[in-house]
Amino acid sequence: MNYRRGAENYENMPGWQKAMYWLPAGLSSFASGLENFLAPLGLDNLMSSADRLTSNGAAPTSPIQYTSAMIRGEAESISPVLAFAYDFGTAAANLAPSILLSTATSGMLGAIGAPAAAARIAGMIPIAAPAAGNAYVQKVREGYTPEQAGMYSTLVGVSSAVLQYLIGGIAQLGGVAPGQLAAKISHLDNAIARVSLTAGVYMGFEAVKDVLREILQPLYATILLDEDYEIDFGSVAYSALMGAVMGGLFSAREIMRAAQPPPRPSEASSFVGYLDENGTDHFEGCGTPEAERVRLRELSKRYHPDTGANPDAEIYRHITKQYNMRKAWHQGGALRELQPPRAPIRPRTSKRPRRRTSTRRRRRSSMRHRS
């Protein structure tokens, strides 16, 4: 029935609507993945009624997905470029809700004082859930039991979240490694080099992440389901290209920010040993002692080893060191202002000094006058 409805939608759809159908197709793919993730947990009633699920707990293919597959086939018959553009739009629409949910989840947990690590881990759930749900329904449709599909989908979901957080080229979803490398690139003086290298970092890391995903998922199936390990190198190259373009799109803000000139450090932050090993200035933007004291109180509430919401002794050590160095710099500036100005040094003149006469010559001259 769903296939018939999808075919009717495809036949009655005008051309402009087919060109924009990647948006509902991507959103439907995200919703289907999330629904398939919740179904084995017994939470399927949160998104759908129980009668929509199959006997093995997987949601059936929706009419939107059937229609999307037909439109994609038509685009590929016209031009591979159109097929790539449609796949890219569908993937972007599928990823956009994950980015919004991940940002909102980590932001809310951070606002209520949750540890930063817990907020980051919770922010990865919207990434892992749809990936795990789609992997689950894929293996169920291939004939595996729900238990086997559940083990495979769990491993796929966890690895997707870990890869995205560590090496993903989408800054909003983590990207620890590309973020640190881009921070070092931001100190370059050449604007063209900053923009090109920053774009290369985010696009390259996202491509590497997708390549690893294409390599690891068949490996998981081999280990858990005893499948033959096969890699489609054409699919790997296609995923790398798709990931590179995706990383450039969703990290466009960071790439455009790299075009701005790098901030010049103040005299205090230019001291040797001021910045930590990551090049972080915890008091960046504070130009007065009052602003630095306010920043110190805020950072202490978060990183203090004993009373902080996210205690970290190493980070707090760098914070106190930077604060003391800035404090010493301000005190040194105050002492320089209290010192009286030196008297100006009078330049030497080129005039010849007057010649002095000796005492004996003055006596001879006075005796001569007396005689």
Q: What's the pLDDT tens digit per position in 72-90?
A: 999 999 999 999 999 999 9
- At residue 354 the predicted structure's pLDDT band, cuts being 50, 70 and 90, is low
Structural domain total, the chain: 1
Structure tokens of 24?
């509902």
Portion of the chain with pLDDT greater than 90, in percent? 26
Asked if the structure places residue 326 within a domain, the reply is yes
- Asked if 231 and 272 touch (Cβ cutoff 8 Å), the reply is no
Asked if the structure places residue 244 within a domain, the reply is no
Is it the case that residue 352 has pLDDT exceeding 90? no
Q: Which range has the worst mean pLDDT, 42-51, 86-95, 330-339?
A: 42-51
Q: Which of 185, 181, 230, 189 is nearest to 208 (CA)?
A: 181
CA distance 307 to 317: 14
CA distance 27 to 97: 8
Query: What mean pLDDT is predicted for residues 321-345?
Result: 64
The residue segments making up the domain with residue 274 are: 265-336
- At residue 353 the predicted structure's pLDDT band, cuts being 50, 70 and 90, is low
Structure tokens of 272?
């040797």
Q: List, in order, residues 6 or more apart from 321 with CB less than 8 Å away.
A: 273, 274
Specify the DSSP class assigned to residue 263. Answer: P
Residue 363: per-residue pLDDT: 61
Q: Which of 36, 26, 30 is nearest to 72 (CA)?
A: 26
Asked if the structure places residue 331 within a domain, the reply is yes
Calculate ∠ Cα 322-326-329, nearest 5°: 140
Q: Which of 62, 63, 35 is nearest to 48 (CA)?
A: 35
Is it the case that residue 49 has pLDDT exceeding 60? no
CA distance 297 to 301: 6
Asked if the structure places residue 276 within a domain, the reply is yes
CA distance 283 to 145: 56
Asked if the structure places residue 283 within a domain, the reply is yes
SS3 state of residue 61: coil
CA distance 212 to 267: 44
Asked if the structure places residue 286 within a domain, the reply is yes
Is it the case that residue 266 has pLDDT exceeding 70? no
Residue 40: per-residue pLDDT: 60
Burial of 194-229, coded b for 16+ CB within 10 Å and e otherwise, reads bbebbbbbbbbbbbbbbebbbeebeebbeebeebee
Asked if the structure places residue 316 within a domain, the reply is yes
CA distance 291 to 285: 9
Give pLDDT tens digits for 168-198. Answer: 777 666 667 888 788 778 778 788 998 999 9
User: Residue 80 class from Cβ within 10 Å (0-12 exposed, 13-18 middle, 19+ buried)?
Assistant: exposed
Query: What mean pLDDT is predicted for residues 49-55?
Result: 45
How much is the mean pLDDT over the chain? Answer: 79
Q: Which residue has the higher pLDDT, 156 or 349?
A: 156
Residue 336: per-residue pLDDT: 46
CA distance 95 to 202: 16
Query: What mean pLDDT is predicted for residues 195-214?
Result: 92
Q: Please list the alpha-helical segments (H only) found in the chain.
A: 2-11, 15-19, 22-38, 63-78, 80-111, 116-123, 125-141, 146-167, 176-185, 191-225, 233-250, 252-257, 289-303, 313-338, 359-370
Asked if the structure places residue 345 within a domain, the reply is no
CA distance 251 to 99: 12
Residue 168: per-residue pLDDT: 78
